[in-house]
């Protein structure tokens, strides 16, 4: 009997220690039973979520947190976007939320204050946007003067002048791409309009031919015959980035296929090439800014290293995703996969 009492005492003391330890954590923790009711919460849950223990014992968490961005998160947690939300207790606080299942259908709700990281991220974004903006005007002036100088008039420095023009154009392109990325990063939503795919695909084919200058065989396959709901300007920019990459990373004589087709999930725009290809270890990092498999090849072909980051942002803003397949020496396929909800029948009314 005494041994039992001693064991119970030890267990109770261990439980107290665990609760004390959890109370000291900066993250909000709410222990929920199988019905989603509060079993226990730590002091941070009061500060960050407004859930106070023992006052709120038995309260249904999803009902208590039904409003604002946290409420929205609760409704959509099955498709965890990983985005942070505003704290219900303080609009200046950003929270990263997680629901962790444990035991018999119980759950642990965790909310972490990420305001500091969000602010740093904002400072980084503003800095990049401001630097790019400030560089734009002086670069335009330099580029303008360089364009005025005719290398024929100054044969002694003609090669230097040509190189200066190429490099100033490159700098301008980097600044334009950085500005485009900043703009995309600041947006949560893009305009939603009918993007007529047939003329857009035709434009992309012509762009490919202009870039290729007859060095590749270019084919367009439109098997979907569907329009898209989205932003024409941004989709054009993303799609043509893929076309330009295919042209730049495929040697003379290769083939490039621009394809728009239906798939079970919806529809897929893809650009396939028979170019250099990319080995497996690089694939997951290709959409990072300035990530290049080969810097010299990228620069040599006029790349800024920002193209695929732009594509990824545009694709994300259309709730779509990218699919990349590649094999060194064989070629690559870069695809953008759109959900059925974004497809529109050509020629039909908007509300069809
Ligand atoms: P860049 O301006 O350098 O082309 P991107 O962001 O468009 O920048 O692409 C990142 C890198 O991915 C490129 O530097 C290149 O190494 C690789 N890449 C992109 N598209 C292709 C392709 N079609 N074939 C082979 N490599 C590619």
Mean pLDDT of 85-104: 92
Mutate to test the pocket of ligand 1, among 180, 278, 283, 288 (most ligand atoms within 8 A of CB): 278
Number of domains the chain is built from: 3
Q: How far is residue 343's CA from residue 348's CA, in Å, rounded to a whole number? A: 11
**What share of the chain has pLDDT > 70, as a percent?**
97
Asked if residue 89 is part of any domain, the answer here is yes
Instruction: Write out the DSSP string of 31-71.
Output: EE-TTSBEEEE-HHHHHHH---TTTTTT-BHHHHT-SHHHH
What separation in Å is there between the alpha carbon of 318 and the centre of ligand 1? 22
Helix (H, G, I), strand (E, B) or coil at 123: helix
What is the distance between the alpha carbons of residues 121 and 107, in angstroms, rounded to a whole number?
31
pLDDT at site 139: 94
Residue 137 structural domain: 117-186
- Phi, psi (rounded to 5 degrees) for 87: -70, 140
> Could you identify the residue written with the tokens 């859930």?
51
Report the nearest atom of ligand 1 relative to the CA of 293: 16
Looking at the structure, tell me whether residues 262 and 338 fall in a common domain: yes
pLDDT reported for residue 352? 43
| 315: in domain | yes
Atom 25 (ligand 1) nearest CA: 277
Atom from ligand 1 closest to the CA of residue 304: 2
Instruction: Name the β-bridge partners of 267.
Output: 262, 338
Q: Is the pLDDT of residue 351 over 60?
A: no
Give 130-183 pLDDT, tens digit per residue.
999 999 999 999 999 999 988 888 889 999 999 999 999 999 999 999 999 999
Q: Is the CB of 168 inside a 6 Å radius of any atom of ligand 1?
A: no
305 occurs within a structural domain: yes
Residues 208 and 334 in one domain: yes
Write down the pLDDT at residue 79.
59
**Residue 22 pLDDT > 50, yes or no?**
yes
Which residues partner with 228 through β-bridges?
Answer: 195, 343
Does the pTM exceed 0.85? no
**Residue 92 shares a structural domain with residue 124:** no
Higher-confidence residue of 315 and 76: namely 315
Structure confidence at residue 42 (pLDDT): 94
How many whole angstroms separate alpha carbon 88 and alpha carbon 66?
10
The residue among 255 and 103 whose pLDDT is bigger is: 255
The pairing of strands 106-113 and 321-327 is unpaired
Q: Which residues are CB-neighbours of 4 under 8 A, at least 6 positions away?
A: none
> Looking at residue 256, which CATH number applies to its domain?
3.30.565.10
Looking at the structure, tell me whether residues 201 and 338 fall in a common domain: yes
CATH number for the domain including 168? 1.10.287.130
Quick check: 335 and 322 in contact, CB under 8 A? yes
What is the model's pLDDT at position 78? Answer: 56
Return d(Cα 23, Cα 186) in angstroms, integer. Answer: 36
At 349 the pLDDT is 60
The CA 197 to ligand 1 mean position distance, Å, reads: 24
Over range 344-350, report the average pLDDT: 78
192: phi then psi, degrees, rounded to nearest 5: -110, 105
Report angle CA 221, 273, 197 to the nearest 5 degrees.
30
Q: Look at residue 210 and tell me if it is in a domain.
A: yes
Q: Is 322 in the pocket of ligand 1 (CB under 6 A)?
A: no
Residues 280 and 148 placed together within one structural domain of the fold: no
CB of 305 sitting under 6 A from ligand 1: yes
Given a cut of 80, is residue 323 above it in pLDDT?
yes
* pLDDT value for 295: 79
Q: How far apart are CA 179 and CA 192, in angstroms?
A: 21
Single out the residue in 91, 113, 135 at which a domain terminates: 113
The answer on 121 and 100 residing in a single domain is no
Who contacts 24 (Cβ-Cβ below 8 Å, separation ≥6)?
Answer: none
Distances (CA, A) of 30 to 40, 65, 109, 166: 6, 12, 5, 59
Please work out whether the CB of residue 286 comes within 6 Å of at least one atom of ligand 1: yes
94/213 same-domain check: no
The two structure tokens encoding residue 216? 């590749």
Statement to judge: residues 178 and 48 lie in one domain: no
- The answer to whether residues 133 and 179 belong to one domain is yes
Tell me, what's the pLDDT at 181?
94
Token digits of residue 259: 């394809």
| Mean pLDDT for the stretch of residues 314-319 | 95
For residue 97, the domain's CATH number is 3.30.450.20
Residue of the nearest CA to atom 23 in ligand 1? 246
pLDDT above 70 for 81: no
Cα of 298 from ligand 1 centre, angstroms:
7
Environment class of 213 (CB within 10 Å of its CB; exposed 0-12, middle 13-18, buried 19+) = exposed
Our separate counts of H helices and E strands in the chain read: 11, 13
User: Does residue 14 sit within a domain?
Assistant: no
**Above 90 in pLDDT, residue 76?**
no
217 and 327 part of one domain: yes
Is residue 278 in contact with ligand 1, taking CB distance under 6 Å? yes
Whether 246 and 208 have beta carbons less than 8 Å apart is answered as yes
Q: Whose CA is nearest to atom 4 of ligand 1?
A: 303
> What was the pLDDT predicted at 258?
98
Q: Give yes or no: residues 64 and 152 share one domain.
A: no
- How far is the centre of ligand 1, averaged over its atoms, from the C-alpha of 292 (Å)? 6
Cβ(245) – ligand 1 distance below 6 Å:
yes
Quick check: is 63 in a domain?
yes
Strands (E), 128-176: none
Residue 75 and residue 97 in contact, taking contact as beta carbons nearer than 8 Å: no
Cα 102 to chain center, whole Å? 31
Last residue of a domain, one of 54, 78, 113: 113
| Assigned domain for 17 exists | no
> Distances from the Cα of 50 to the Cαs of 24, 73, 75, 85, 315, in angstroms?
17, 16, 19, 15, 36
177 shares a domain with 218? no
271 pocket-lining for ligand 1 (C-beta < 6 Å): no
- What is the percentage of the chain residues whose pLDDT exceeds 90? 78
- Closest ligand 1 atom to 292 CA: 14
Is residue 43 domain-resident? yes
Residue that is last in its domain, among 96, 113, 130: 113
Query: Is residue 102 predicted with pLDDT exceeding 60?
Result: yes
């Amino acid at each position: 009997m005494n041994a039992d009492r001693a064991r119970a005492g030890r267990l109770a003391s261990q439980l107290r220690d665990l609760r004390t330890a959890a109370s000291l954590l900066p993250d909000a923790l709410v222990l929920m039973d199988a019905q989603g009711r509060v079993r226990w919460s730590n002091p941070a849950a009061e500060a960050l979520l407004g859930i106070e223990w023992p006052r709120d014992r038995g309260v249904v968490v999803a009902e208590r947190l039904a409003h604002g961005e946290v409420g929205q998160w609760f409704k959509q947690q099955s498709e965890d976007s990983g985005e942070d939300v505003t704290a219900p207790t303080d609009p200046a606080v950003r929270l990263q939320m997680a629901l962790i299942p444990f035991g018999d259908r119980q759950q642990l709700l965790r909310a972490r204050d990420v305001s500091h990281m969000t602010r740093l991220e904002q400072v980084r974004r503003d800095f990049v946007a401001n630097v790019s903006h400030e560089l734009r005007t002086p670069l335009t002036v330099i580029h303008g003067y360089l364009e005025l100088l005719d290398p024929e008039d100054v044969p002694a420095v003609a090669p230097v002048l040509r190189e200066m023009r190429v490099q100033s154009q490159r700098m301008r392109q980097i600044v334009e791409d950085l500005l485009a990325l900043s703009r995309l990063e600041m947006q949560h939503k893009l305009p939603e309009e009918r993007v007529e795919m047939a003329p857009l695909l035709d434009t992309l084919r012509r762009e490919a031919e202009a870039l290729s200058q007859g060095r590749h065989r270019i084919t367009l396959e439109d098997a979907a015959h569907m329009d898209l709901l989205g932003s024409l300007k941004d989709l054009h920019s993303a799609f043509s980035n893929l076309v330009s990459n295919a042209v730049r990373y495929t040697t003379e004589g290769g083939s490039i296929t621009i394809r728009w087709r239906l798939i079970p999930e919806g529809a897929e725009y893809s650009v396939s090439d028979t170019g250099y290809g990319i080995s497996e270890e690089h694939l997951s990092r290709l959409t990072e800014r300035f990530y290049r498999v080969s810097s010299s090849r990228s620069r040599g072909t006029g790349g800024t290293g920002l193209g695929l980051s732009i594509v990824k942002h545009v694709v994300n803003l259309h709730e779509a995703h990218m699919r990349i397949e590649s094999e060194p020496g064989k070629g690559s396929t870069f695809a953008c996969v759109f959900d059925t909800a974004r497809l529109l029948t050509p020629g039909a009314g908007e509300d069809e």
